[in-house]
Homo-oligomer: A and B are copies of this chain.
Amino acid sequence: MRTLKLTVCYDGSNYFGFQRQTKELTIQEVLEEKLARVCGEPVQIVGSGRTDARVHARGQVVSFATRGTIPLANMPRAMNSILPDDIRILQAEEAPDGFNARKDACWKEYEYRIRFTPQPDPFTRNYVWQLREEPDLEKMQEAAQLLLGTHDFSGFQSAGSSPVSPVKTIYVSRWQKEADGTLIYRIAGDGFVYHMVRNLVWSMVQIGLGKKIPQAMQQELQMQRGEFENSPAPPQGLYLVRVEYEPFLS
């Protein structure tokens, strides 16, 4: 048996998320079906984490064990030739026996993309959160900085979460503006509770639109689930960018 690690990029627009479901099409189902063809046997993969319906990934990591003998160097091309063009294998690596893409992850990075679109824009509808009002970047930056370090993110956890500790350490939390006007929020941390990034983005956008002051973030970090009005930003702005298996070095 070999243990393999794949880095996968996908446009989540047409999928009901990463995790296999009985009725709806998911990334996991498509990957397992194509891997079975390439490996010549049924394959069960483990993803570093779920992504929800319509959420994207530039660097999702999956692991699996197989008796398949395909050379590593041929794996991306073999897979990409049979995968739909909204899922691409970027890299294939051998991993130590027992490597588990979910349990062994040390930290992850996400991006959340927003565009100020006074006119409706069909071309980015699946790839950003389109806002009709322009949020104040400086205020959002101020709130983002308050997230650095170790906090209990219970207040930013949506119902339906798995029972994991809500205490997480955030290494990177900042907004930047691209040349084309896209606002990108980058966050890296040792773990994320359910809907955490989307709930944080929603809160920061309320701050950017002047509905709350940046310091509200500090109070919200003290609260428990349900203690303040929380709501996830829409899924199509979220990208899982990378998953790392060594500790974060700043």
Q: A residues touching B (Cβ–Cβ < 8 Å)?
A: 9-11, 56, 80, 85-88, 90, 119-123, 125, 127, 178-180
Residue ID in chain B nearest A57 by CB atoms: B122
Copies of the polypeptide in the assembly: 2
Which residues of the partner chain B approach A119 to less than 8 Å between Cβ atoms?
9, 88, 90
Question: Is A56 a contact of B127 with CB atoms below 8 Å?
Answer: no
- Nearest neighbor of A11 in chain B, beta-carbon distance: B122
Q: List, in ascending order, chain B residues with CB within 8 A of A85's CB.
A: 120, 122, 125
- Inter-subunit contact B120/A80 (CB<8 Å): yes
In angstroms, Cα B124 to Cα A86, docked, is 10
Checking B80, B122, B127, B179 against A88 with a beta-carbon cut-off of 8 angstroms, the contacting residue is: B122
Distance in Å: Cβ of A189 to nearest Cβ of chain B: 24
User: Considering the chains assembled together, what is the distance between the CA atoms of A127 and B86 in angstroms?
Assistant: 13
Q: Is the CB of B178 within 8 A of A11?
A: no
Q: Is the CB of A120 within 8 A of B9?
A: yes
- Chain B contacts for A120, CB-based, 8 A: 9, 80, 85, 88, 90
Are B122 and A10 in touch, CB under 8 angstroms?
yes
Nearest 5 A/B pairs, CB to CB: A179-B179, A11-B122, A88-B120, A86-B122, A85-B125
**Does the CB pair B86–A56 fall under 8 Å?**
no
What residues on B are CB-neighbors of A179 within 8 Å?
Answer: 178-180
Chain B residue nearest to A84 (CB atoms) is: B122
User: Which residue on chain B has the smallest CB distance to residue A8?
Assistant: B122
Q: List 5 A-B contacts (CB under 8 A).
A: A56-B123, A80-B120, A85-B125, A88-B119, A123-B127
CA distance A122 to B201 in the complex (A): 24
Q: Are B122 and A87 in contact (CB under 8 A)?
A: yes
Beyond the given A9-B120, A80-B120, A86-B125, please list 9 additional residue pairs across the A-B interface where CB-CB is below 8 A.
A9-B119, A11-B122, A11-B123, A56-B123, A87-B122, A88-B120, A123-B127, A179-B179, A179-B180
Residues of B within 8 A of A87 (CB): 122
A11 touches B86 (CB 8 A): no
Known: A80-B120, A88-B120, A120-B80. A125 touches B11 (CB 8 A): yes
Closest-by-CB residue of B relative to A86 is: B122
Q: How far is the CA of A244 from the CA of B250 in the complex (A)?
A: 54
* Residues in B neighbouring A178, C-beta threshold 8 A: 179-180
Complex CA gap A56/B121 in Å reads 12
